[in-house]
Chains A and B, each alone.
Chain A
Amino acid sequence: MNVIVLSAVWGVVMMFSGLFIADKSKAKVVAAIGLIVLLVGNYFDLHHQSFTLSDFNGLLHVDSFGLIFTSIALVSTLLYLLLTGSEMEKVGNHIFEYWALIFFVLCGVALVAVYNNFLMLFLGIEIISIPLYILTGADKRNLKSNEGSLKYFLMGSFSTGIMLMGIAFIYGARGTFALEMPPITTTHLPVMIAIGLTFLAIALSFKVSAAPFHFWTPDVYDGAPTVFTSFMATVVKAAGFIAFVRLFEVSFGGMTDYWQFTIALIIVTTLVVGNITAVFQQSIKRMLAYSSIAQAGFMLFAVYAVNALAKEGILLYAAAYCLATIGIFAVLVKMKDYTFEGFNGLAKQQPLVAFLTTIFLLSLAGIPLTAGFLAKYYMVASAMKSGTYIWLLLIAMLSAAVSVYYYFRVIQAMYFKQGDAAASDITPTFKVVLAITAGLIILLGIFPNSLLLDWFHLF
């Protein structure tokens, strides 16, 4: 798969160009070229033209699901770069290195999108995580950033350990690392598989910050420099879900009876904890951290349902969620004050930016005509298709209504409250890219098929 190779190579290119290019602001340009190269590589992947057509003895399974997700991740990263790339210069001096790390993360993202082997899953998750530990602590002189980084590193290593242990148990039971598992014929799940399954579920829940394994999320998201939070909360998180869905579909799809109820409980906890806590936040950055937990609750429906609709749905959700969250973070980075009051009266100062932010928020809240609505719809529909508990759906809907509360608080601050929200360096290019992002959200909300989902059947 081209993207895996290219992203690793371009990471190295980024590092070395840091040695030769003195002008820090050029890092963005090199990274943009890299992303375009990756997108081209991804395009050829989609048309089955790759450096190597091998599937590495079954270690990878390159399918349209993984490839389309890689495209979503790459496009999101490109928009992320265009919107917030220049903010990185405020974090520290090592811009080229930051971008190198982001390219390594993308390598991991591409890997977890197409893995077909437990070891590849482990490798992909680690390649994603390690650069992120560094990026979280990028703001060296900021204690919160250091704290977040350490916390993330400790908790992350711990969860990786649990994941490895789970993989070991499953290996012990079956003697192979291959993802695909024959259906269980005995009436009871073999103990080793059951333990392995539990450990893997815990580890992945940690990675996607599903409750009750979410405690690191607010501190890390809040502590990390906002530019990097934006990337972590979107592309990385969505990748975690792709890994989750893939694992549970391919490996444990034949034994849904054993784990569906547990996942349902995780969904409920995640939705309730994420939404209720988000309501009480005063800082928009922290609110977004909790909202990302709440959104994770909805995305978990895809894991719960494991059917074709869920796979389409999680792609749509990933796209909708990444676009909207990147957009909001891009605006947030520009703000002086991260509290809700800091947004007071933004509509007066920056009418277009406020309007576009409203679209992002409406999409996260799941109002029709935005991609966020259809994404939520697909999630619920897929869960229903595979048979579901009515209480699960009712709680999901209640929490969606609660989420309106905190998303709309931002809208109220921008439009209906008096204040002098201060936003710095809003350039015309920024506005255009932000408008493109919002436009994509609306288009996905009206024509999800021609824009995204039809590709699924095309390749």
Chain B
Amino acid sequence: MLALLLILIPLVTGVAAFFIKNEKVVKSWALLSAVVALGISLATLYYTDTTHLTFTKEWLPDLGSSFSVGLDGMGKMLTLLTAIAFPIIFISTKHSTYKDANQFYGLMLLSQAGLMGVFLSTDLLLFYFFWELALVPAYFLCSKWGGEKRISVTFKFFIYTFLGSLIMLIGILYLYILNPEKSFALQSIYKMTLNNRAQDILFWMFFLAFAIKMPIFPFHTWQPDTYEQSPTATTMVLSGIMVKMGLFAVVRWLLPVFPHAARGFDNIIIGLSVTGMIYASCIAIVQDDLKRLVAYSSIAHIGLMSAALFAGKANGVQGVMVQMFNHGINIIGLWIVIELTERQFGTRKMSELGGLAQKAPALAILLVIVALANVALPLTNGFVGEFLMFTGLYQFNVWYTVVAGLSIILAAIYTLNMIQKVFYGNTNALTEQAVDIRLNEKLVLSVLVILIFAMGVYPKPIIELTQASVNSLVSVFK
């Protein structure tokens, strides 16, 4: 029942938000909804019984699909991430003004509902439903409130991901036809034993959709433009949570269903991921726009997660679980800083900024912590995940680790370069009048920083939460 609530609350409040014309009220309404969802998400951590965590209702009996949702360890972790992210996004963008705020917040909440649905579905067709539904509000958010080139850029994003999803849909249907039980239920699909040829074909049909969503090289071309053009609140959703949909889907629907193909194609995918890491990191170094820089750094991080996942070693997969959560926290932190900078100076170009640390010390300190977490400095949350992932990758093949390791150095280069250009050095005419951040922004960033250190020093809760998911996934690779 709790699982159902996680979808219903954002859905209902999101629809209701469209009818609240007053901007202040709708902001509070959205925040209230997000906080309630967070409360429920926290409550799910205390329950382990199925009555609270699952919900099933007959839906399309002719097609073998039912409305069934449920939470396991990984699902809990990702719904928690979603539930944490939304209040943070709403609080941090409290002072941003959006034209037609009711629509903006309505769509944000609807995208939250879609995301929750993706993480909760235990029925493949239902999963596809939510997978698409998460995309539609994002499309409208980016197209309406984004930057100058928003229309063409988000159009590309939509068609790109939609095409991937459609090919997955054929895969879903094919899988259904092969299933002797004629069902889309997760358990029923896990029981299937597919021959190698079917696995190979289906694997790519599914993987394409997930690869576009993550995105991994060479399917990433929509991502930097979309991140750049979207309103920052939406970019936080896209990069903090929506990219996790791709990774999550690989763990939930790809690897356990097509184990043979996953083992067979592991080198191709890890190769692509690692190439993407280096490629994205190199491009990140020459970026001047903060948003694009973070966008490329995100491709690099996702690449590492994808590589560690397909390496299939216990450590690496565990690292992916930890990093999925932490990457979400860190990147949202980075976006918040960028949003604050942009709102104050009207630019995101590093060449036009400088010396912010003198004027806004609090912002500078918080940013440095978030940025260092993003390059996985020990003691921060990023370190735990990356260390585990590199260990896993090392056990798989040492050469991948060597190449992937280069991206750590590259990450340090572009991140420190960014900090230096934006926050240190001399102030210029633009940054002369800079003021420090407001209380609510300090609060939000402090929460993130606390999470960064807490997870960095004591990652055990997440590791324990996702242990079962890791074990079952690793057994697939044996």
A residues lining the B interface (CB < 8 Å): 309, 312, 362, 367-369, 373, 377, 380-381, 384-385, 390, 393-394, 397-398, 400-401, 404-405, 408, 412, 415-417, 448-449, 453
Q: Are B169 and A416 in contact (CB under 8 A)?
A: no
7 CB < 8 A contacts A-B: A312-B62, A362-B136, A377-B169, A384-B177, A385-B177, A398-B163, A404-B159
Residues from 128 to 152 in B contacting A, C-beta threshold 8 Å: 128-129, 132-133, 136, 140, 143-144, 150-151
Contacts of B174 in A (CB 8 A): 384
Contacts of B60 in A (CB 8 A): 448-449
Contacts of B159 in A (CB 8 A): 401, 404-405
Q: Are A404 and B167 in contact (CB under 8 A)?
A: no
Chain B: CB-nearest residue to A412: B151
Q: How far is the CB of B78 from chain A (nearest CB, A)?
A: 21
Q: Are A380 and B62 in contact (CB under 8 A)?
A: no
Known: A368-B128, A448-B60; 11 extra A-B contacts, CB below 8 A, are A312-B62, A367-B132, A368-B129, A368-B132, A384-B173, A384-B174, A397-B166, A397-B167, A401-B162, A415-B140, A415-B144
Interface size on B, residues (CB 8 A): 28
Contacts of A380 in B (CB 8 A): 169-170, 173
Residues from 151 to 207 in B contacting A, C-beta threshold 8 Å: 151, 155, 158-159, 162-163, 166-167, 169-170, 173-174, 176-177, 201
B61 beta carbon closer than 8 Å to chain A: yes
B32 beta carbon closer than 8 Å to chain A: no
Q: Are B132 and A416 in contact (CB under 8 A)?
A: no
B25 beta carbon closer than 8 Å to chain A: no
Q: Are B133 and A369 in contact (CB under 8 A)?
A: yes
Q: Which of B63, B133, B143, B158 has the most CB of A within 10 A?
A: B63
Contacts of B173 in A (CB 8 A): 377, 380-381, 384
* Chain B residues touching A, majority SS: helix
| Contact of B155 (CB < 8 Å), options: A362, A369, A412, A415 | A412
Contacts of A448 in B (CB 8 A): 60
Chain A: CB-nearest residue to B140: A415
Contacts of B163 in A (CB 8 A): 397-398, 401
Q: How far is the CB of A114 from chain B (nearest CB, A)?
A: 24
Question: In the complex where A380-B170, A385-B177 touch, is A368 in contact with B62 (Cβ < 8 A)?
Answer: no
Q: How far is the CB of A361 from chain B (nearest CB, A)?
A: 12
Q: Are A393 and B170 in contact (CB under 8 A)?
A: yes
Q: Which of B129, B140, B150 has the most CB of A within 10 A?
A: B129
Contacts of A397 in B (CB 8 A): 163, 166-167, 169-170
Contacts of A398 in B (CB 8 A): 163, 166
9 smallest CB-CB distances across A and B, nearest first, come from: A397-B166, A401-B163, A368-B132, A368-B129, A393-B170, A416-B143, A416-B151, A384-B173, A384-B177
Residues from 200 to 253 in B contacting A, C-beta threshold 8 Å: 201
Contacts of A367 in B (CB 8 A): 132, 136
Q: Are A394 and B170 in contact (CB under 8 A)?
A: yes
Q: How far is the CB of A11 from chain B (nearest CB, A)?
A: 37
Contacts of A404 in B (CB 8 A): 158-159, 162
Question: In the complex where A312-B62, A362-B136, A449-B60 touch, is A416 in contact with B170 (Cβ < 8 A)?
Answer: no
- Within the assembled complex, what's the spacing in Å between the Cα atoms of A144 and B203? 52
Contacts of B150 in A (CB 8 A): 416
Q: How far is the CB of B349 from chain A (nearest CB, A)?
A: 25
- Within the assembled complex, what's the spacing in Å between the Cα atoms of A393 and B177? 14
- Within the assembled complex, what's the spacing in Å between the Cα atoms of A409 and B392? 46
Contacts of B151 in A (CB 8 A): 412, 416-417
Chain B: CB-nearest residue to A309: B62
Contacts of B143 in A (CB 8 A): 412, 415-416
Chain B: CB-nearest residue to A380: B173
Q: Are B158 and A408 in contact (CB under 8 A)?
A: yes
- Within the assembled complex, what's the spacing in Å between the Cα atoms of A424 and B61? 45
Contacts of B166 in A (CB 8 A): 397-398, 400-401
Contacts of B158 in A (CB 8 A): 404, 408
Q: How far is the CB of B433 from chain A (nearest CB, A)?
A: 32
